[in-house]
Structure 1
Amino acid sequence: MLAVVVAWGTMAGLVLPGPHAHAATAAVPSGPSGTGGAGRALSGVSGTPGPYAFAEEAQRVEGALSTADAVLLEAGGSYRSTLPPSGTAHYRLELDATSTTYVSATAVPPAGVTASAVDGVKVTLEDGDGRSCDANTATFGAGRSPHPVAAWAAREISPRRSVCKDAGTYYVTVERAGPDAGGTSPEPWGLELVAVSEPPLDDSAATSAPEAWNSASPDPVEGKAVRRPGGAGFTRATLVGEGVWRDDIRPGRTLFYRVPVDWGQQLHVTAELGSTEPDTTGYVAAALDLDLYNPVRGYVTDLGVGYDGSQKSDGLAPLPPVTYGNRHAAGSRADGMRFAGSYYLVAHLTADVADEFGDEPVPLTLRVRLSGERQDGPDYQGRSVPPGLFTVTDEDRDAAGEGTETGDDSAMTALAVGGIGTGTALLIGLGVWTVVARRQGAA
């Protein structure tokens, strides 16, 4: 019943109050700072999303050739820019002496460009004296298939760090990664930038990483998959919870999902590529690339799945429970699981799959499990910017839903989230309401 109400409200352009509004979020690809309707228009039908969906509210800015001309990026803002084939693009931050700040840059190469496994984007954050606070690189990986990738850098207020603690002007530098930089792709790339601020904690803040955590991988979630079309960008990422989720992905395409993960919870993900026609032959060593990013779009870990036309699967390496102290751990996997919020699963099917198996969509299934008891978050002395970035609400969990189909109720839910026409959903909904009204009248 609820799924039908969602479909009607979405079709009519209404904002439904209460639980109906939250269910509408589940029905349309959407991120914490995005709007749903445009995301569905950009994503298109299942398995055929359009180009990367930049944030609607993104402000257009130009990266400067010199730090002297760098434009200001403000925490909580989204920005759209261009990454040149060579050289660097500079941006500016004005920071206080107490908050930790994260900057993420998503590089979006145009379709049809060539690339190597080590091509990608590099982000560096420096203080006013040119001292590096942090630097990270994101690459296209073994598949050598250009697709949106994000790298992050942080100005972290921590007892472990002796630099970049003062208030003042800081600079963000974004450049191409790889030995040939822009040589393999002379066209400019699109660039989406976000900056966020994390407030300080009280004096009881953790100063070391957890000593031990359960690193055993549980069995993947079982059950029939619920079809949930992937989004076309971070702000259009489709919301999913624990369960089994299905879409079809074409070679060269990228799908975005987000999973609310609370403090104390562990995230487990298995990705599967379904079989194609039985008479096909060939093999692609790194056909599927699945990247996991944290709530500030910081890279956490990834996996690659080889494909020969038959069913293949693999799971992300074990991840620790989400705790504040993970930031003191060595290695990106633990370090990235430092706060609660929306974690992003970005699935890319390499363009080489089309050469071996044709350009038809390949079935993609994501099995998502959340283990561990939810815990209270740390005692922040203030709010994040944007607000609520490091929290998971009951509304988030309700909208994410459960991804296993067991009967008619699941089929009704699939109406809202699986992409059938809203007009059809409306007709079904009117029929359901008529039956309910008759029963109530008879009673």
Structure 2
Amino acid sequence: MAVRLGVVAVVLGTTAAVAPGQAALAASEASGTALTPSSYAFADGARSIEGARSTADALLLKPGTAYKSSLPSSGEVNYRLELDASSNAYVSVTAVPSPGSTVSVIDGVKVSVQDAEGNSCSDNTESFGAARSPHPIAAWGRREIAPNKSLCQKSGAYYVSVERADPEGEGSSPDTWALELLATTEPRTASTGATTAPEVWNSATPQPLQGDSQRRPGGAGFSEARPLDQGVWRDDIRPGQTLFYEVPVDWGQQLAVTAELGSSDSGGTGYAADALDLALYNPARGPVADVGVGYDGDQKSGSLPPLPPVDHANRYAVIGQVGAMRFAGSYYLVAHLSESVADSFGDGPFKMTLRVRVSGEPRGGPAYAGESEPTGVFEVSDQDREAAAEGVAAGDDTAMRVVAVGGIGTGSALLVGLGVWTVVARRRGTA
């Protein structure tokens, strides 16, 4: 199991070597300034893998292992899964265009899964939308075992195909995109449960959570997502920047999020469509819902659509955003500020507020007949709740944060440094 350390230590004026993303995150929190727009933070230890043009040459993706690959501007790349006949399998593909590249409204990434006979198991397309601002977006593929399905139920080889959503590339740069891939397996339940989605749930839009905000800087990738619990959270975001957060949501709990973008002090005028994009992904990094907030320099806000309580039976729903709320675990909030905001209102940073509400008491989930891969990804542990309460920047396995200490003696600095280490064991590690 890989161990990831994000450490910032200042002793006698010397800064320790650190993982880049965690160092920047800790430094930004200490200084009170936002991270500047930067490249996506891939999972530490992500394995490089080349996508094949033909399924015959497709290389194996092992569930629980993060991979780094690339996607050309045209044509598809293929990867292989080896699956049993009882587990559900999910593959999330995060596409990362180069900063400054051009993307069209319909451009994005398409992920599909087929069995060895060429039958389609699923397909999902995610696009950049009206803002046309390049940023990390994720789509997922699924092989689901279900009593009402006849295809894609056998054990054996399955193929994951990834391609651009706009293969003609009109209005988009012909750049090669970086990819991060993560396959997850979910075991079958020990006993037969509901085979239809819950018909009744509170679909009313809740009032945004009120109260004073607390500062909680976001991370630069899924693996560096900053834990949040219920509360009002404040961060700074710059045009072109994407920030990642994670919220533990247990079985029976309902998540509601409102994003606000503060007014500009630049004196600029204009309007940016979908300036702030807030997307929600589930524990398998599958897209759930998103909201775009237009910006004209004044205070603006937008809320995710009403989402059902987390329930295993949600997977049988016809509506995609309901079906995606199918398991407990860490749900990811991904906020992106469009590059176009800088044209009218400057480089910022802009003040962003996230109002996060987690309602309902946790209840017991389904009894799984086995372990997920990665282990524990579809549950909320005490460590997850502690991390969310403390806002510890945790990696895939272990996160360690040392608060910088200055202006005191060497011995005191060492003692304080040792005293403020916060260690949180994480269970979504890469192999």
User: Does the pair score TM above 0.5?
Assistant: yes
Aligned to 2:88: 100
1:287 equivalent in alignment to 2:236: no
The 5 A counterparts of 1:43-442 are: 43=25, 45=28, 46-178=34-166, 180-181=168-169, 184-277=172-265, 279-401=267-389, 422-424=404-406
User: CA shift at 1:116, angstroms?
Assistant: 1.2
Deviates more, 1:272-281 or 1:231-240: 272-281
Q: Indicate the SS of the match to 1:422.
A: coil
Q: CA RMSD in A?
A: 2.4
User: CA shift at 1:397, angstroms?
Assistant: 1.0
Alignment partners' CA distance in 2, 1:186 and 1:160: 42
> What's the CA shift string for 1:115-154, capped at 9, x where partnerless?
1111000001000011110000111011111110000010
- Do 2:7 and 2:23's aligned partners in 1 also have CA atoms closer than 8 Å? no
User: CA shift at 1:331, angstroms?
Assistant: 1.4
Alignment partners' CA distance in 1, 2:282 and 2:408: 37
Aligned to 1:41: 23
User: CA shift at 1:98, angstroms?
Assistant: 0.5
User: CA shift at 1:202, angstroms?
Assistant: 2.4
> What's the CA shift string for 1:175-231, capped at 9, x where partnerless?
000262477221100000000100001233220100100112222222221111110
Alignment partners' CA distance in 2, 1:143 and 1:55: 27
- Do 2:104 and 2:171's aligned partners in 1 also have CA atoms closer than 8 Å? no
> What's the CA shift string for 1:336-357, capped at 9, x where partnerless?
1000001000000001100010
Q: Which runs of 5+ in 2 are unaligned?
A: 1-5, 11-17, 29-33, 392-398, 417-431
Going from structure 1 to structure 2, the CA distance change for 1:216 and 1:115 (only over 3 Å counts) comes to same
Alignment partners' CA distance in 2, 1:420 and 1:10: 5
Alignment partners' CA distance in 1, 2:206 and 2:346: 35
Alignment partners' CA distance in 2, 1:259 and 1:58: 23
User: CA shift at 1:360, angstroms?
Assistant: 1.5
Q: How many matched pairs?
A: 388
Q: Indicate the SS of the match to 2:234.
A: strand
Alignment partners' CA distance in 2, 1:137 and 1:354: 28
- Do 1:86 and 1:182's aligned partners in 2 also have CA atoms closer than 8 Å? no
Alignment partners' CA distance in 2, 1:73 and 1:182: 32
- Do 2:102 and 2:171's aligned partners in 1 also have CA atoms closer than 8 Å? no
Alignment partners' CA distance in 1, 2:232 and 2:77: 41
- Do 1:242 and 1:402's aligned partners in 2 also have CA atoms closer than 8 Å? no
Q: TM-score, normalised by structure 1?
A: 0.83
Going from structure 1 to structure 2, the CA distance change for 1:185 and 1:247 (only over 3 Å counts) comes to same
Going from structure 1 to structure 2, the CA distance change for 1:88 and 1:423 (only over 3 Å counts) comes to same
User: CA shift at 1:95, angstroms?
Assistant: 0.6
Alignment partners' CA distance in 2, 1:10 and 1:364: 26
- Do 1:49 and 1:232's aligned partners in 2 also have CA atoms closer than 8 Å? no
Going from structure 1 to structure 2, the CA distance change for 1:356 and 1:90 (only over 3 Å counts) comes to same
Identical aligned residues as a percent:
57
Alignment partners' CA distance in 2, 1:274 and 1:67: 48
Alignment partners' CA distance in 2, 1:391 and 1:311: 37
Aligned to 2:421: none
Q: Which runs of 5+ in 1 are unaligned?
A: 1-8, 14-35, 404-416, 435-443
Deviates more, 1:212-221 or 1:91-100: 212-221
Q: Indicate the SS of the match to 1:270.
A: strand
Alignment partners' CA distance in 1, 2:407 and 2:194: 50
Q: Indicate the SS of the match to 2:288.
A: strand
Q: Indicate the SS of the match to 2:344.
A: helix
Alignment partners' CA distance in 2, 1:293 and 1:343: 6
Q: Indicate the SS of the match to 2:305.
A: coil
Alignment partners' CA distance in 2, 1:180 and 1:102: 28
Alignment partners' CA distance in 2, 1:198 and 1:40: 30
- Do 1:42 and 1:53's aligned partners in 2 also have CA atoms closer than 8 Å? no
